Amino acid sequence: MQAITLAITGASGAIYGVRLLEQLLSAGCQVHLLMSSAAKVVLATELDLHWPAEPAECQQYLIAHYGCTENQLRLYAKEDWFSPVASGSAAPKKMVICPCSMGTLAAIAHGISDNLLERAADVVLKERGQLLLVARETPYSAIHLENMLKLTQLGATILPASPGFYHKPQSIDDLVNFLVARILDHLHIKQVISPRWSEYTLRT
Ligand SMILES: Cc1cc2nc3c(=O)[nH]c(=O)nc-3n(C[C@H](O)[C@H](O)[C@H](O)COP(=O)(O)O)c2cc1C
């Protein structure tokens, strides 16, 4: 079972994080889930999702909702320093932050590690694992751009929440799937939710 750390922060685009969670679970991955406090506000604002505030309760709720096993979905509190994601000896080698706020991006770029989400990203960077940040803001300030450049130079991948339109999307779902498919491609997880470039060109 491939293990992935998925962090959802308080940037707009909670729907991307939720779709990615669904896809990772249906691909049979083990998901180590982290959520910031602001992420819960955005989930409620944008998707009317009111997941339980208490992590253990929320984990049980999501396991029941997605019909997965306890082993497949683990949710950690923001100061659960004994969780596997807090240490290079146990953390998954792949982590996605989707969507990623500019605040979290800045904290990671500067090694703050003040909560488990930031610490987990710091661990993946120091262990030379794969860190994908689905950054979302518009426009970007020089601070945002400098932080993104720094993280890219450290080996992270900035995969902005900027879906393409060349697949002629008919719905918000098409746009969301486009972006989530690119994330899955980067993680080398088989996906069938959105075709790749040559598959579009073959169709036209
Ligand atoms: C509905 C909503 C949308 C937001 N959208 C963004 C956004 O797109 N990008 C961003 O950087 N912050 C956005 N914010 C602000 C962040 O939530 C805020 O900076 C927060 O402190 C980020 O904390 P976190 O990184 O721990 O999740 C948004 C907040 C709300 C309530």
Residue range 118-124: mean pLDDT, rounded? 98
**Who lines ligand 1 at CB under 6 A?**
9-12, 36, 38-39, 41-42, 45, 101-104, 136-137
Residue range 139-154: mean pLDDT, rounded? 98
Question: Is a pLDDT exceeding 70 seen at residue 204?
Answer: no
Q: For position 197, what pLDDT does the model report?
A: 80
Q: Which amino acid is at 64?
A: A
Average pLDDT, the chain: 96
- Tens of pLDDT, residues 68-77: 999 999 999 9
Q: For position 194, what pLDDT does the model report?
A: 85
Question: Is a pLDDT exceeding 60 seen at residue 46?
Answer: yes
Which residue(s) pair with 74 in the sheet?
A: 32
Q: From ligand 1's centre to the CA of 14, what distance in Å?
A: 10
Q: For position 71, what pLDDT does the model report?
A: 95
Question: pLDDT exceeding 70 applies to what percent of the chain?
Answer: 98
Which residue(s) pair with 75 in the sheet?
A: 33
Q: For position 72, what pLDDT does the model report?
A: 98
The answer to which of 35-44, 60-69, 102-111, 191-200 has the lowest mean pLDDT is 191-200
Which residue(s) pair with 133 in the sheet?
A: 97, 158
Q: For position 6, what pLDDT does the model report?
A: 98
Q: From ligand 1's centre to the CA of 180, what distance in Å?
A: 20
Query: Taking a C-beta distance cutoff of 8 angstroms, is the pair 179, 16 a contact?
Result: yes
Query: Taking a C-beta distance cutoff of 8 angstroms, is the pair 185, 191 a contact?
Result: yes
Band of residue 35 on the pLDDT scale cut at 50, 70, 90 = very high
Residue range 13-39: mean pLDDT, rounded? 98
Q: Which of 37, 101, 117, 138 maximizes ligand 1 atoms within 8 Å of its Cβ, making it the mutation to test the pocket?
A: 101
Q: How far is CA 57 from the centre of its chain?
A: 21
Q: For position 49, what pLDDT does the model report?
A: 98
- Tens of pLDDT, residues 124-138: 999 999 999 999 999
Q: From ligand 1's centre to the CA of 40, what distance in Å?
A: 10
Residue range 102-107: mean pLDDT, rounded? 98
Alpha helices in 53-196 (DSSP H): 55-66, 102-109, 116-126, 142-153, 172-186
Q: For position 203, what pLDDT does the model report?
A: 56
Q: Hey, what are 123's tokens? A: 């661990």
Q: What is the Cα–Cα distance from 124 to 129, expressed in whole angstroms? A: 5
